[in-house]
Chains A and B, each alone.
Chain A
Amino acid sequence: SQQGEEDPQALSIQEGENATMNCSYKTSINNLQWYRQNSGRGLVHLILIRSNEREKHSGRLRVTLDTSKKSSSLLITASRAADTASYFCATHASSSSGGSYIPTFGRGTSLIVHP
């Protein structure tokens, strides 16, 4: 089953507005990463936040992590048309058998930024 679940599944905004995407997960994690994927392309790593961190910034990106609620958010400020892409969170958590850590992806948020 999916570990991470992004919300909303789709988001349509105007250029200049902020975009907020959320990710919820089920089990304890070592870290959580956000990725961007342009249509038909590979994943681009955006930011990694460790389980002992609460907030992290990178340029126009701001990621928060609330381990008590098992959730994370990605905020893109002053969005641009070029930010149009799908955004995924990926968690690195233990497998259902309690064995080695395996990474799982959420379904992603499709962001459209209108110029």
Chain B
Amino acid sequence: GAVVSQHPSWVICKSGTSVKIECRSLDFQATTMFWYRQFPKQSLMLMATSNEGSKATYEQGVEKDKFLINHASLTLSTLTVTSAHPEDSSFYICSAATGGRSLFFGSGTRLTVV
């Protein structure tokens, strides 16, 4: 089956710094990737839809300037949490869609801002 690699799996950063999370589709081209955020014991909430070569579409309530998404190629999308604060601490997960709209998920990134 298709593989989506997400890196890093966990990261601890200081408040005010920026963190970049990568999402790669290893064996297929993903025209669309999705970024989710998950709070403890909660479901995954869609943050934004990332389309290769165009601007991401953000869900209501998600700050575009806080969560920068870049989808520069058909196999890579990045999420940058800018000027991170403790309230940004969360579990972030990406998924990638194949041409047939099947979805495959990364293993997630645990972000802790101290």
Given contacts A102-B34, A102-B49, A103-B34, contact A45 B43 (CB under 8 A): no
What sequence of 0s and 1s flags, for each residue 82-114 of chain B, a beta carbon within 8 Å of any chain A beta carbon? 000000000101010100011111111010000
Residues of A80-115 contacting chain B, CB below 8 A: 88, 90, 92, 100-108, 110
Query: Is B95's CB under 8 angstroms from A103's CB?
Result: yes
Residues of A1-52 contacting chain B, CB below 8 A: 2, 30-31, 33, 35, 40-43, 45, 48
Q: Tell me if B19 counts as interface (CB < 8 A to partner A).
A: no
The size class of the interface chain B forms with chain A is: 20 to 34
Q: For residue B34, give the distance in angstroms from its CB to the closest CB of chain A.
A: 6
Query: Is A42's CB under 8 angstroms from B101's CB?
Result: no
Q: Tell me if B61 counts as interface (CB < 8 A to partner A).
A: no
Q: Tell me if B44 counts as interface (CB < 8 A to partner A).
A: yes
Q: For residue A7, give the distance in angstroms from its CB to the closest CB of chain B.
A: 13
Q: For residue B94, give the distance in angstroms from its CB to the closest CB of chain A.
A: 10
The size class of the interface chain A forms with chain B is: 20 to 34
Residues of B31-49 contacting chain A, CB below 8 A: 32, 34, 36, 41-44, 46, 49
Query: Is B102's CB under 8 angstroms from A42's CB?
Result: no
The residue in A35, A42, A48, A104 that gathers the most chain B C-beta atoms within 10 A of its C-beta is: A42
Contact of B108 among A42, A102, A103 (CB under 8 A): A42
In the bound assembly, the distance between CA atoms of A87 and B93 in angstroms comes to: 16
Q: A43-B93, A103-B95, A106-B43 are in contact. List 13 more A-B contacts (CB 8 A).
A: A2-B43, A40-B110, A42-B6, A42-B9, A42-B106, A42-B107, A43-B44, A43-B108, A92-B97, A92-B101, A102-B34, A103-B97, A107-B42
Can you pick out 24 interface pairs between chain A and chain B where the beta carbons lie within 8 Å of each other?
A: A31-B101, A33-B103, A35-B105, A41-B107, A42-B105, A42-B107, A42-B108, A43-B44, A43-B93, A43-B105, A45-B1, A48-B102, A88-B43, A88-B44, A92-B102, A92-B103, A100-B32, A101-B101, A102-B49, A103-B34, A103-B97, A105-B36, A105-B43, A110-B41
